[in-house]
Amino acid sequence: MKVQVFSAATLLALLFLFSAAPSFARGTVQNYPLQESIIKGLEQGIFNASVQLFFAGGDEPAMLETLKNISTSRKTNGFGKSDATACEWASFSALIALQERALQEGGNAVINIKSNYKHKEFSNGSLFQCGAGTFVVGVALKGTVAKIE
């Protein structure tokens, strides 16, 4: 049986290569238009039309009752997709999760929705934030379940 022996230089080179690998990772956070995603999701039948979504900084509905603060973080595979496409899919997933939770809590709306990527609040009535890595893209949102008129 033959045993393979590596030189010290080879081992050092491998050690350097694997310790530097995280520096090649990408971690950009970008803003994307909210209304375009929502309209596209409604047109495609992705969202539940019985649960309305209201973003902080946008229009306020006539409120009957606020029920519970909720949050969600959804990720999707970004490999081979543009950041915009992957972020749109992640936003769909996050908004659907908010709608499903609103129904579980007895509400018909989620109000005061804000981006909360890596626990950093971003509030804008016309934009959401999305984080894009080399292979994974994520959207985090939080809001309040409510009953509206």
Q: How many CA atoms lie within 13 A of 28 on its CB side?
A: 12
Q: Which pLDDT does position 103 carry in this prediction?
A: 98
Blockwise average pLDDT, block size 10, the chain, 149 residues: 57 44 67 88 92 90 94 94 94 97 97 95 93 95 96
Q: Which pLDDT does position 35 carry in this prediction?
A: 84
* Domain positions in the chain: 26-148
Please tell me the distance from the alpha carbon of residue 56 to that of residue 124, in angstroms, as a whole number. Answer: 6
Q: Which pLDDT does position 120 carry in this prediction?
A: 95
Q: Which pLDDT does position 9 carry in this prediction?
A: 57
Which residues pair with residue 3 across a beta bridge? none
Burial class (CB in 10 A: 0-12, 13-18, 19+), 130: buried
pTM to 2 decimal places: 0.81
Q: Which pLDDT does position 59 carry in this prediction?
A: 85
Q: Which pLDDT does position 1 carry in this prediction?
A: 55
Q: Which pLDDT does position 12 carry in this prediction?
A: 47
Q: Which pLDDT does position 125 carry in this prediction?
A: 87
CATH number of the domain at 26-148, please?
3.30.110.70
- The size of the chain, in residues, is 149
